[in-house]
Amino acid sequence: MEKRRIDDCEPGPVPSPRPVDRFGFVKQEHGSPYEGVIKSRSAIQFEREERRVRKWRKMIGVGGSDWKHYVRRKPHVVKRRIRKGIPDCLRGLVWQLISGSRDLLLMNPGVYEQRHGPGQRSLYNVLKAYSVYDRDVGYVQGMGFLAGLLLLYMSEEDAFWLMVALLKGAVHAPMEGLYQVGLPLVQQYLFQFDHLVKEHLPKLGEHFTKEMINPSMYASQWFITVFSYSFPFHLALRIWDVFLFEGVKIVFKVGLALLTYCHDDLIKLPFEKLIHALRNFPEDAMDPDKLLPVAYSIKVSKRLEELKSLYEKQNKKVVQSAETNGKVKQQDMQED
């Protein structure tokens, strides 16, 4: 796999037998709305992007040297700029800066090299390295989508440390619960999302209840792969920009935004069609410039905290009884 160079701002035309989009993916035969965007890119838009990249470069400094300083001084500017999308040529570097993985790498020199063999494929290497680094979690399907996305923007070692930063919680709450036995964090997120749907979109929530639809049927992959499983690449990137800086709440916001955007269609559909629609959103709903402003306007932070406490309270009883059972089983085994 060809690796992207972080400084490579203006990639020259790559000769290819099949037409590719700006990310190097082979274009589908049916035209996507994004294709139109590329074609209509005018000189003005190009200049605007150039200006944007210059602003970003200033904010980051050489190799990221000014980044922390800038974030401390002007956190709102940083947040605003990230929400507009990180310039693609700087994405790899910025992702490492905002996830805290850069610091992890610098603090742990040589750790990655010890854990991967030569001559193997990048994705395998990163996933294998992680499963060895964290034997309790090991390898879980879904991690591959994260690692794959990261490898398009950084080296194996950088991708490995970004995985560590996310799963162990360098900046935000640790994600490892998404992958641990029983998927405890997935269960919690689905519980929170279910409540949020009912609160933000009561009519749709009622319709879901009537049709016996719950978030485990459509949203678990949103959380497990942070929208990198089945969403258009350009949308996934924009979500990841914000996800790495602001944390998992953007997944809830985008999820709610998708339901909000398609609300009037979804509310008419019976179970069969509903479950299909919730896995195949229309292309205009997945346009980042339409979807993300809706997502940003939805406030969830406070409610997420409350719902987390509620979930923990409700689950405490279950956990306790399970623990008691576990102890009984152990005793049984000892007696045997």
Partner 1 sequence: MPSRRRTLLKVIILGDSGVGKTSLMNQYVNKKFSNQYKATIGADFLTKEVQFEDRLFTLQIWDTAGQERFQSLGVAFYRGADCCVLVYDVNSMKSFDNLNNWREEFLIQASPSDPDNFPFVVLGNKIDVDGGNSRVVSEKKARAWCASKGNIPYFETSAKEGINVEEAFQCIAKNALKSGEEEEIYLPDTIDVGNSSQPRSSGCEC
Residues at the interface with partner 1 (CB under 8 A) = 140-142, 144-145, 179, 181-183, 186-187, 214, 216-217, 220-221, 224-225, 229, 272, 275-276, 279
Give the closest residue to 23 by CA, choosing from 35, 31, 7, 33.
Answer: 35
Shortest gap between Cβ of 277 and partner 1 (angstroms)?
Answer: 12
Instruction: Please identify, using beta-carbon distances, which residue of 263 and 276 lies nearer to partner 1.
Output: 276
Which two tokens mark 309?
A: 């406490």
Shortest gap between Cβ of 92 and partner 1 (angstroms)?
Answer: 24
Instruction: Please identify, using beta-carbon distances, which residue of 104 and 143 lies nearer to partner 1.
Output: 143
Instruction: Please identify, using beta-carbon distances, which residue of 127 and 291 lies nearer to partner 1.
Output: 127
Shortest gap between Cβ of 323 and partner 1 (angstroms)?
Answer: 17
Shortest gap between Cβ of 220 and partner 1 (angstroms)?
Answer: 4
Shortest gap between Cβ of 53 and partner 1 (angstroms)?
Answer: 34
* DSSP symbol at 284: G
Instruction: Please identify, using beta-carbon distances, which residue of 268 and 273 lies nearer to partner 1.
Output: 273
- Torsions phi, psi of 318, nearest 5? -60, -45
Instruction: Please identify, using beta-carbon distances, which residue of 222 and 261 lies nearer to partner 1.
Output: 222
CB pairs under 8 A, 24+ apart, for 23-26?
23/88, 23/152, 23/233, 23/234, 25/233
- Taking the CA of residue 203 as centre, how many other CA atoms within 13 Å lie in the half-sphere pointing to its CB? 10
CA–CA separation, 255 vs 237, rounded Å?
Answer: 15
Among left, alpha and beta (phi > 0; psi -120 to 50; other), residue 21 is beta
